[in-house]
């Protein structure tokens, strides 16, 4: 996911992490965390709704606690932010869709965030042959834009 998001127009930086868990350490179980990618973006170039639209190109928005071959609570799909305007934009994007009632995307305030360990950062950039549930033609679809 980080490899896909980092190449989108308007995205300034990305970071692999864990969102909305209970502990303050990466040691031990995920204890409520969702695997996530933190995204810094230029709001003059890309809007939250645009980011979610791009996200929908690479996720199954109807899946609960599952993405690609991975399943379990830590693989839930969500939008988490400390900025209520971001959350409102995400909710409005979903509400405007014809399939809004079927979408399983979690939209919630970011209550806790931990940056993932170094070996999880830029994984597909550093190890391009690593398996990924996103097809390569989609994974690199926006790579030339930046």
Backbone angles phi, psi at 14, to 5 degrees: -135, 160
Is the confidence at residue 145, as pLDDT, over 60?
no
Q: Per the domain annotation, does 145 fall within a domain? A: no
Q: What pLDDT, on a 0 to 100 scale, did the predictor assign at position 55?
A: 95
Instruction: Give the Cα separation of 32 and 23 in Å (integer).
Output: 9
Tell me the per-residue pLDDT of 66-113, one tens digit each, with 9 for 90 and over.
988 889 999 999 999 999 999 999 999 999 999 999 999 999 999 999
Strand 106-109 with 70-71, pairing: unpaired
Instruction: Please indicate, yes or no, if residue 109 is contained in any of the structural domains.
Output: yes
> Which DSSP letter does residue 119 get?
G
The enclosing domain of 115 has a CATH number of 3.30.1060.10
Residue 108 in any domain: the answer is yes
The CA–CA distances, whole Å, from 110 to 36, 52, 131 equal 11, 16, 29
Q: Does 146 map to a domain?
A: no
Mean pLDDT, rounded, of the chain: 92
Taking residues 60-67, what's their average pLDDT?
93
Q: What integer pLDDT is reported at residue 141 of this predicted model? A: 87
Residues 20-40: tens digit of each pLDDT:
999 888 887 788 999 999 999
What is the total count of domains within the chain?
1
Please give the residue range of the domain that contains residue 57: 2-139
The pLDDT > 70 percentage for the chain reads 98
């Amino acid at each position: 996911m980080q490899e896909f998001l980092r190449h989108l127009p308007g995205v300034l930086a990305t970071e692999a992490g864990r969102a909305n868990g209970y502990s303050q350490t990466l040691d031990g179980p995920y204890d409520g965390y969702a695997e996530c990618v933190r995204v810094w973006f230029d709001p003059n170039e890309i809007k939250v709704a645009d980011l979610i639209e791009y996200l929908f190109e690479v996720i199954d928005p109807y899946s609960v606690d599952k993405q690609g071959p991975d399943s379990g609570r830590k693989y839930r799909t969500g939008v988490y932010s400390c900025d209520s305007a971001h959350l409102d934009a995400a909710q409005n994007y979903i509400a405007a869709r014809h399939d809004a009632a079927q979408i399983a995307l979690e939209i919630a305030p970011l209550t806790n965030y931990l940056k993932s360990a170094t070996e999880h950062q830029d994984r597909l950039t550093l190890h391009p042959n690593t398996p990924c549930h996103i097809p390569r033609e989609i994974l690199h679809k926006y790579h030339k834009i930046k």
